[in-house]
Amino acid sequence: MDEELIGTFLQECRELLEEMESRLLQAEAGECDSDCINAIFRAAHTIKGSAGVFGFEPVVHFTHGLESVLDKVRDGLQPLDAGLTGLLLECGDHLGRLVEAAAAGRELEAGASAAGAVLSGRLAGYLGSAAGPAPAAAATEATEPVAADVACAATDNWHISLRFGRDVLRNGLDPLSFLRYLGTLGEIAGIATLYDGLPAAADLQPEDCYLGFELSFRSDRDKDEIEAVFDFIRDDATIRILPPRSSIDEYVELIAAQPEDDLRLGQILVECGTLTERELAEALAAQKAEPEAARQALGQILVQERMVQPEVVVAALEKQRATGSAAAPQKSTIRVDAERLDQLINLIGELVISGAGVNLTAQRGPREAMVESAATLNRLIEAVRDSALNLRMVQIGDTFNRFQRVVRDVSRQLGKDIRLVIEGAETELDKTVVEKIGDPLMHLVRNAMDHGIESAEARLAAGKPAQGTISLNAHHDAGSIVIEVGDDGGGLSREKILKKAIERGIVAEGQELGEREVFRLIFEAGFSTAEQVSELSGRGVGMDVVRRNIEALRGTVDIDSVPGRGTRMRIRLPLTMAIIDGFLVGVGESAFVIPLDLVVECVELTDAGRSGDYVNLRGQLLPFLRLRDLFGIEAAPPAREQIVIVQFGSSRAGLVVDALHGEFQTVIKPLGPMFSQLSGISGSTIMGSGEVALILDIPRLIQHAGNSVAAA
């Protein structure tokens, strides 16, 4: 079986399961309406249909029971109460395990299989004596006319038109499997097989698909369920589905849209039972005339056969003349493979480097036209770069929403009443950052629930509401993204943390530390203030992992805490990990790049207003670092030095350099393992001249400047 198709199936199932879980949590919070219930049902039904196409019987079998219960909920025969919601969440988890196992071609472990059997039994308890779903209400709704003033055909069957693409067989799909699965939802009353565009025997390609079908389908299922049968092949086929009693115009459009000539298609419709021979002759005669005449002829046929009243046909034709047939434009999306996207980003990076080289050559040459052309090239490169990077930008809301389930399950495990509040879900950042920030956020959220939020009794005694609150917030700030994890719990105890740090030898007895320095001790390896080890915490592994993972993303984490009011963890990360706008500076023969978003201004360093390692900038004292001394660069300083003022978050500092070379597009190249512990450097880049410049780690340098001044 095609691995690429299996991968697509697996990815779509994961997305559907995430949607189902999100909707079920919404229902548990009392915010679920009919659309929410229908979305849950569609997710389960689509997974079942896709699994049926691949022959994953365990998935189909388990999902059938789940679908039957959801069908009763959808029809109002079973309330979606807290007990059923909890069961459906467990079923979603088990369904995820089934899908993963099926995609990997393996069987579930005995324990997981037994748990699935228990879940199936619990689902059967909700079905009672019902043998299966009873979608009468949905069928009634689906078979109603679209509007009272539209002439409709009288047939009670669906009409389905299928034209499979040439590559269907080559992609490992079996067209007949879709028809077999369709038969499980109803009865195929009539079918005509087409061999669309069948070439001569000499030109016949055995791997090409030439099949098409026109069929009449009798079912009480709604259109969404029937369309879901073909979800997995929608991109490889042309599919048109006409519901019972469709309007006249829809049948006319069906005839006009198909590749066969009108006479042949009419004979096909007769084979399917859609038209009689006499109706076919009259319809084809009208079809050769203008569309208006065709509609009138079809209307006459329906009146003669006593399918509709004459006034209904007249009203429909008048409405058609008034409104026309313009269709509203629809947006389309495409799924891009991550490896191809990464390859594009790498090529864009090489293009940026080449563009910088062209620009450098142009500046050194005598011709102004070359300089102008290079400038135009750089503008285009920058536009392409921004466009490519935008492809990697995704909203953080999907990551945040996954914690709804975490908060629900962990709060029940702890016996606490906790809710999750999400803000800034629409904030965008690089896909790579989103993928790697999930684990640190998980540790922070679980830690806040275990250590931060008090029990309901303790909260009430402190005058707080019994329900605790965990908040996730994201926003942009000064070229970075800030992610905050907050709680309204008891806050951090400075004395308790300091005492534990002294006991473990992390801090010396009598050492003076500021409040923030004390709070940052919780990120030390092996540090924990828990009195006993639980399943969630107490082993001192987790918060140090959080710090390491965030620093690996070139980010920082800060803590604000007020005793009795709560704690807020603030993570600051770069927006992208690939290409940035930089500011190029020089110290001796060395070149350094500062992220442009972190540069505030540049001034000349003079003796006036300078005191030790501080500079007086318009009445504000700022610490500064000499990059020459920091990196041990042995070169005589120039007569006039420059200081670059940088800011990260609310902290500022100055960096003393020899020369300012201006803005520079920077392709970030990670440092090798040998240089992973190098402080103050976050990466490297290649300039247009082929020389290597180091990218400065501004957050670390600002912190180092503050610590150096404090120590002095």
pLDDT at 223: 81
- Would 329 be classed as within a structural domain? no
How far is C-alpha 142 from the geometric centre of its chain's CA atoms? Answer: 32
Write the DSSP assignment of 342-410 as a string of letters. HHHHHHHHHHHHHHHHHHHHHHHSS-HHHHHHHHHHHHHHHHHHHHHHHHHEEETHHHHHTHHHHHHHH
Residues 593 and 534 in one domain: no
pLDDT digits (tens, 9 = 90+) for 482-491: 999 999 998 8
Q: How far apart are CA 682 and CA 705, in angstroms?
A: 17
Residues 370 and 437 in one domain: no
pLDDT at 349: 76
CATH of the domain at 536: 3.30.565.10
Residues 24 and 35 in one domain: yes
Residues 299 and 345 in one domain: no
pLDDT classification of 479: cutoffs 50, 70, 90: low
Q: How far apart are CA 390 and CA 685, in angstroms?
A: 21
Residues 429 and 550 in one domain: yes
pLDDT at 328: 43
Domain boundary (534, 556, 574) is at: 574
Does the structure show a pLDDT above 50 at 704? yes
Mean pLDDT of all residues in the chain? 78
The stretch 104-125 carries a mean pLDDT of 86
User: Is 535 or 494 the better-scoring residue by pLDDT?
Assistant: 494
The stretch 405-409 carries a mean pLDDT of 88
Q: What is the pTM of this model?
A: 0.58
CATH of the domain at 59: 1.20.120.160
Tokens 């509401």, residue?
Answer: 465
Lowest mean pLDDT among 115-129, 320-334, 396-410: 320-334
- Would 62 be classed as within a structural domain? yes
User: Is 229 or 196 the better-scoring residue by pLDDT?
Assistant: 229
Residues 180 and 144 in one domain: yes
- Would 330 be classed as within a structural domain? no
pLDDT digits (tens, 9 = 90+) for 558-616: 899 988 899 999 998 877 666 778 899 999 889 999 988 889 999 988 877 677 788 88
Residues 435 and 531 in one domain: yes
Residues 672 and 541 in one domain: no
pLDDT classification of 420: cutoffs 50, 70, 90: very high
Tokens 């190029």, residue?
Answer: 584
**Closest-CA residue to 466 (of 417, 407, 534, 501):** 417
Question: Contact, 593 vs 666, CB < 8 A?
Answer: yes
pLDDT at 248: 52
Does the structure show a pLDDT above 90 at 379? no
Residues 166 and 250 in one domain: yes
**Closest-CA residue to 52 (of 213, 236, 230):** 230
pLDDT at 424: 92
pLDDT at 496: 87
- Would 328 be classed as within a structural domain? no
Residues 599 and 699 in one domain: yes
Domain boundary (553, 574, 595) is at: 574
User: Is 263 or 678 the better-scoring residue by pLDDT?
Assistant: 678
Tokens 């978050």, residue?
Answer: 649
pLDDT classification of 473: cutoffs 50, 70, 90: very high
Q: How far apart are CA 29 and CA 21, in angstroms?
A: 12
Could you list the residue range(s) of the whole structural domain that residue 547 is in? 396-574
Residues 600 and 556 in one domain: no
pLDDT digits (tens, 9 = 90+) for 291-335: 555 455 545 544 454 444 555 555 555 555 555 444 444 445 556
User: Is 57 or 254 the better-scoring residue by pLDDT?
Assistant: 57
Q: Please name the amino acid found at residue 111.
A: G
pLDDT at 150: 40
pLDDT at 138: 32
CA distance between the termini of the chain:
68
pLDDT digits (tens, 9 = 90+) for 249-267: 566 667 666 666 555 565 6
- Would 359 be classed as within a structural domain? yes
- Would 213 be classed as within a structural domain? yes
CATH of the domain at 600: 2.40.50.180
Residues 531 and 551 in one domain: yes
Q: How far apart are CA 353 and CA 381, in angstroms?
A: 10
* Domain total of the chain: 5
pLDDT at 93: 92
Does the structure show a pLDDT above 50 at 152? no
Domain boundary (133, 155, 179) is at: 133
